[in-house]
Amino acid sequence: MRRSFAVAVLAAALAGAAVSAVASGATGHPAVSLRSTPLGSVLVAGNGRTLYLFTADRKTSACTGPCAALWPPLLAKGSPTAGAGVKSSLLGTVKRLDGTRQVTYAGHPLYFFAPDARAGQTKGEGIVHFGGKWFVLSPLGMKVVAVKTSGGTVVKPPTTTTNSNGGYGK
């Protein structure tokens, strides 16, 4: 079991490096836009890949090392740009421990999930990894909570744009 997890992390690291490189783009100004998914309209990068928030984040990213291999951060060399439906006022960046800049939305550092192989996939939704939980983001910058029931998946829509943790966690 432990060995298969290590192999998965290594594979994710390779996939993550490719995702991160594509997402940052040559201009260093990554675009964040919206895409319709079974979870509703969620944030995606310019390559169409779903973006996630991590509940363990506080004032900077808590996801480094093996975590960042499986959950690659959306990096920027300049200011991120907002696509249709995305509020540019909610976009920003935060400095990571390694000195790179990570794109944020409503204060949440943004990540990909390496096993999301195609644009619009949301396989990372609700997963508990590396001391926190992972969620896709709504256009309001809130986590989208999907609850699996015997009748299928039910999405609980976000109701506000802020939380008591300054955009981190919750």
Residue 20 pLDDT: 43
Residue 149 pLDDT: 61
- Structure token digits, residue 169: 């966690």
27-68, pLDDT tens digit by residue?
Answer: 488 999 999 998 999 999 999 999 999 999 998 899 999 999
CA 120 to chain centre: 12
pLDDT tier for residue 6 given thresholds of 50, 70 and 90: very low
Question: What would you measure as the largest C-alpha separation in the chain, in angstroms?
Answer: 46
Tell which residue, 97, 122, 41, has the closest CA to residue 111. Answer: 122
CA 111 to chain centre: 3
